C-alpha cells in the first residue's frame, strides 16, 4: 500500500504531471468565470485532448479543470451576482450582497479559501473512508432519498429573514411545484407545460437562478447613478480584503469541516445531485448560525458553507463512479467516458487493479483545489478593482446581456430567455414582499430529486416508505428543522407584516388549491409529487393567511417601485433576439438604455456596448459557440 501511495504521488508531482494539472486548472478557471458554460462544457472540450495522453496525465488535466471551474464561478457570483457555474448558485445568496457592500474582496477570499479546504477535506475523506463507505452508499434507497430531500426542505424555514419561516416555506413549496413542470418521469405525461416541447425537460435551472438573482438585482441597480458598490467600505485594498476573508475562514474551521462532511456524504449518493449538497450545507449553516436572520443579506458563513461543500462533494462523487461504475451526475458520466477512453473500466476491479491511478486522482483533487484557489486569488484582485470602478448602470446593462448569453448557451433554446425574464419579475416580487428567493431556489433544486424518488419509493414500499429505519432517523432531523425556526427563532410570529399581504396570502391559498385539484386529475403516479407539494404549500399559505389576519400590519409599504423602464427594455431585448438575433439586440438594448435613458455621452455608450459585444464575440469564436441570428435572417 505504501509503495502504491508513493508511485501515485510521484507520478503526479513530476514536471509533466504538474504541467498538465496546471493547464487543466487554468482552463477550468476561464470556463468557470464565463456564465452558462460550466463543468460539463469544460470536460467536454478536454475529452479530445486526453485521447493520446497516458492515464496519469489525462486525469490530471480533467481533474484540474473539474476542481477549478467552481472557483472561477465564485468570482462572478460575488462581483456580478451571476454564478459562473450552477454549483456557485448558493454563493450568490450572500456573496453578491457582500459585494454591493464593498466587501467583495472579503467574500471572494472566503469563497476561495473554503473551496480549497473543502477540496482537501473531501479528498482526505475519499482516501480514508472508501472501504467503509462503499456499503453505506448502497444503504440509501429511494425512500431514504425522499426523506433526505424533505430534510433539505425543512431547512428552508431558516432562510426566512424579515418574512419569517412561513413565507420561506411558501417560497420553498413554490419552488418544489415549479420543479414538477415537465413530462412525468414514469408515464411521460405532460404536466403544466402548456404544450411547449421546450418544457418537457423542465424549467432550465440556470435561467431560474439568473432570473431570481441577477436580473432582479440588476433592475434595482439600474436606478442608481453612482458606482456599483453601495457600501463605501474601501478602507482596505481588494487584496487585503481577500486575505481578511481567508483569515475569517480559518476562524470558522468547524463550519468548514461540517459542511465538507455534508458535501462528501451527499456526493457519495448516486443521483442526488451536486446542487443538493450545496444547499443542504447552506441550510445547515443558516440553522446553526447566531445570525440566521441575516442570511441572504451578506453573511460570510453563507459563502463558506456552500463553497466548502461544493468542492468536498467532488471527492465523494468519485466513490460510486470508481467503485461501483455508477455515475452520480452528468459530470461523473463524462468522467466514466474518459476512463474508458483511457482504457480504464470503473467498478470494484478498478480499486483492486488500478489503485495507483485512483490514488493519483485523489492527490490531483487535493492539489488542484489549492492551486485553483491560489490562481483565482491572483486574478480576482484586479477584477474587483475594475468592477468597483464601474457605474451601476454600466454594470446592470452588461450583466443582463451576459445573463442572456449564458442562459441561451446552456440549452440553446430561445424560450429559456423568456423564462429568465419571468423569473426576474418573480424575483422582484419576492424581494419586495420579503419572501425567500433562496427558499424558492432550494425547493426548485430539491424538487427534481423528490419527484423521482417518491415515485420509486411508492412503487417499492407503498406509503410505508416513511417507516424505513433510516427514514425514521432522518424524520427526527426534519421535525427539528421545522420546530427550531418557529419556536426558538420566533421568526414566524415576529416577522414584519406589510400592507396588502392579506390579499397575497389569499392568492397563495387559491393558487395551491387549484394546482392540487388539477394534479389529482393526472392520476397515479404522475399526481403523487405535485399533490404532496400542493398540500404542503396550501398548509403554509393557510398559516400565512391566519397570521395576516391575526396580526396588525405594520403600516409599512413594500419598497419603492423598481425601474419600469429598464424592465420594459429587458422584455424588448429578449423579444428582439428572436427576430433580429443576439448581437444586434444586445447592442440596441445597451445603447438605448445608456444614451437615451441614463443620458450617458454617446462615446461612453459606444465604448461600453462595443466592449461587451466584442468580448462575447471573442468568447464565441474561441469556443465555437453559436448564438441565435434571428428569424429575419432566415427569411432573407
What Å distances lie between residue 229 and 208, 235, 391, 407, 630, CA to CA?
A: 25, 13, 9, 25, 36
pLDDT digits (tens, 9 = 90+) for 159-195: 665 667 788 889 889 999 998 898 887 777 888 888 8
pLDDT of 613: 92
pLDDT at 137 over 70: no
* C-beta separation of 311 from 118 below 8 A: yes
How many CA atoms are closer than 13 Å to the CA of 524, on its beta-carbon side?
7
How many degrees, rounded to 5, is the angle at CA 287 between CA 286 and CA 288? Answer: 95
pLDDT value for 329: 59
Answer yes or no: is pLDDT of 579 > 80.
Answer: yes
Q: Which of 465, 439, 477, 483 is nearest to 177 (CA)?
A: 439
- pLDDT one-digit tens code per residue, 33-57: 766 556 766 776 677 677 677 777 8
pLDDT, averaged across the chain:
77
Nearest of 281, 311, 346 to residue 124 by alpha carbon = 311
What pLDDT does 35 receive? Answer: 60
Tell me the backbone φ, ψ of residue 293, rounded to 5 degrees: -70, -15
Residue among 545, 485, 553 nearest 512 (CA): 545
Does the global pTM surpass 0.85? no
> Where do we find the cell 393558487?
511
Positive or negative torsion for Cα 141, 147, 150, 154: negative
Tens of pLDDT, residue by residue over 198-246, are 888 888 877 887 788 778 878 877 877 665 554 444 434 566 778 888 8
Q: Is the pLDDT of residue 395 over 80?
A: no
Q: Look at residue 594 and tell me whether its pLDDT is greater than 80.
A: yes
Q: Does residue 562 surpass a pLDDT of 60?
A: no
Return d(Cα 232, Cα 29) in angstroms, integer: 29
Alpha helices by DSSP H, listed for 139-192, are 142-155, 164-178
pLDDT 10s digits, 413-470: 888 999 999 999 998 888 888 888 877 877 887 787 787 778 778 777 777 777 777 7
Q: In whole angstroms, how far apart are CA 299 and each of 453, 464, 484?
A: 33, 41, 20
Q: Is 333 exposed, middle or buried (0-12, 13-18, 19+ CB in 10 A)?
A: middle
Higher pLDDT, 151 or 62: 62
pLDDT at 130: 57
For the stretch 247-281, pLDDT in tens is 888 888 888 888 888 888 877 765 555 667 787 88
Residue 190 three-state SS: strand
What are the sequence ranges of the domains in the chain?
Answer: 2-550, 564-635
The terminus-to-terminus CA distance of the chain in angstroms comes to 68
- Contact 460/142 with Cβ under 8 angstroms? yes
Tell me the DSSP string of 488-550: IS-HHHHS---TTHHHHHHHHHHHHHHHHHHHHTT-TTTTHHHHHHHHHHHHHHHHHHHHHHH
Amino acid at each position: 500500500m505504501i509503495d502504491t501511495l508513493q508511485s501515485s504521488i510521484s507520478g503526479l508531482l513530476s514536471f509533466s504531471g504538474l504541467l498538465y494539472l496546471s493547464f487543466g486548472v487554468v482552463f477550468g478557471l476561464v470556463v468557470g468565470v464565463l456564465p452558462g458554460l460550466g463543468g460539463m462544457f469544460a470536460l467536454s472540450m478536454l475529452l479530445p485532448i486526453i485521447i493520446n495522453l497516458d492515464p496519469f496525465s489525462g486525469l490530471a488535466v480533467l481533474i484540474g479543470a473539474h476542481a477549478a471551474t467552481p472557483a472561477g464561478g465564485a468570482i462572478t457570483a460575488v462581483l456580478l451576482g451571476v454564478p459562473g457555474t450552477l454549483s456557485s448558485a448558493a454563493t450568490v445568496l450572500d456573496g453578491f450582497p457582500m459585494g454591493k457592500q464593498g466587501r467583495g474582496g472579503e467574500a471572494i477570499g472566503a469563497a476561495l479559501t473554503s473551496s480549497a479546504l473543502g477540496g482537501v477535506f473531501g479528498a482526505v475523506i475519499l482516501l480514508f473512508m472508501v472501504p467503509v463507505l462503499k456499503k453505506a452508499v448502497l444503504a440509501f434507497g429511494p425512500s431514504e432519498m425522499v426523506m433526505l430531500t424533505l430534510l433539505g426542505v425543512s431547512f428552508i424555514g431558516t432562510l426566512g429573514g424579515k418574512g419569517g419561516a412561513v413565507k420561506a416555506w411558501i417560497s420553498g413549496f413554490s419552488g418544489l411545484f415549479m420543479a414538477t413542470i415537465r413530462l412525468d418521469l414514469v408515464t411521460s405525461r405532460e404536466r403544466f407545460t402548456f404544450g411547449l416541447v421546450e418544457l418537457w425537460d423542465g424549467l432550465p435551472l440556470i435561467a431560474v437562478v439568473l432570473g431570481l438573482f441577477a436580473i432582479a438585482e440588476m433592475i434595482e441597480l439600474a436606478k442608481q447613478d453612482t458606482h456599483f458598490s453601495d457600501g463605501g467600505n474601501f478602507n482596505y485594498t481588494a487584496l487585503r480584503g481577500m486575505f481578511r476573508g481567508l483569515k475569517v475562514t480559518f476562524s470558522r474551521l468547524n463550519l468548514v469541516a461540517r459542511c465538507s462532511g455534508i458535501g462528501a456524504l451527499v456526493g457519495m449518493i448516486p443521483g442526488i445531485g451536486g446542487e443538493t449538497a450545496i444547499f443542504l450545507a447552506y441550510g445547515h449553516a443558516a440553522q446553526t448560525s447566531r445570525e440566521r436572520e441575516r442570511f441572504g443579506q451578506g453573511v460570510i458563513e453563507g459563502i463558506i458553507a456552500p463553497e466548502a461543500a461544493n468542492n468536498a462533494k467532488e471527492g465523494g462523487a468519485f466513490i460510486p463512479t470508481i467503485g461501483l461504475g455508477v455515475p452520480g451526475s452528468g459530470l461523473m458520466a463524462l468522467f466514466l467516458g474518459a476512463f474508458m477512453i483511457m482504457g480504464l473500466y470503473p467498478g470494484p476491479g478498478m480499486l483492486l487493479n488500478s489503485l495507483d491511478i485512483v490514488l493519483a486522482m485523489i492527490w490531483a483533487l487535493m492539489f488542484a483545489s489549492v492551486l485553483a484557489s491560489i490562481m483565482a486569488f491572483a486574478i480576482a484582485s484586479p477584477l474587483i478593482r475594475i468592477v468597483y470602478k464601474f457605474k451601476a448602470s454600466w454594470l446592470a446593462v452588461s450583466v443582463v446581456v451576459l445573463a442572456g448569453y449564458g442562459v441561451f448557451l446552456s440549452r440553446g433554446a430561445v424560450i429559456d430567455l423568456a423564462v429568465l425574464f419571468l423569473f426576474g419579475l418573480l424575483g422582484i416580487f419576492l424581494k419586495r414582499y420579503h419572501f425567500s428567493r433562496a427558499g424558492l431556489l432550494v425547493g426548485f433544486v430539491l424538487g427534481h430529486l423528490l419527484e423521482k424518488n417518491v415515485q420509486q419509493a411508492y412503487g417499492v414500499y407503498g406509503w410505508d416508505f416513511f417507516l424505513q429505519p433510516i427514514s425514521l432517523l432522518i424524520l427526527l432531523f426534519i421535525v427539528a428543522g421545522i420546530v427550531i425556526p418557529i419556536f426558538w427563532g420566533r421568526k414566524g410570529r415576529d416577522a414584519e407584516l406589510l400592507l396588502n399581504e392579506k390579499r397575497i396570502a389569499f392568492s397563495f391559498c387559491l393558487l395551491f388549491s387549484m394546482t392540487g385539484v388539477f394534479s389529482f386529475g393526472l392520476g397515479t403516479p404522475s399526481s403523487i409529487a405535485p399533490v404532496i407539494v400542493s398540500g404542503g404549500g396550501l398548509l403554509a399559505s393557510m398559516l400565512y393567511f391566519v397570521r395576516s389576519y391575526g396580526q396588525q400590519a405594520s403600516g409599512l409599504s413594500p419598497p419603492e417601485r423598481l425601474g419600469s423602464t429598464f424592465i420594459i427594455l429587458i422584455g424588448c431585448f429578449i423579444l428582439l433576439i428572436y427576430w433580429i438575433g443576439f448581437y444586434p439586440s444586445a447592442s440596441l438594448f445597451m445603447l438605448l438604455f445608456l444614451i437615451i435613458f441614463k443620458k450617458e455621452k454617446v462615446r461612453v455608450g459606444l465604448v461600453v456596448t462595443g466592449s461587451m459585444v466584442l468580448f462575447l464575440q471573442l468568447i464565441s469564436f474561441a469556443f465555437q459557440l453559436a448564438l441565435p441570428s434571428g428569424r429575419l435572417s432566415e427569411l432573407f
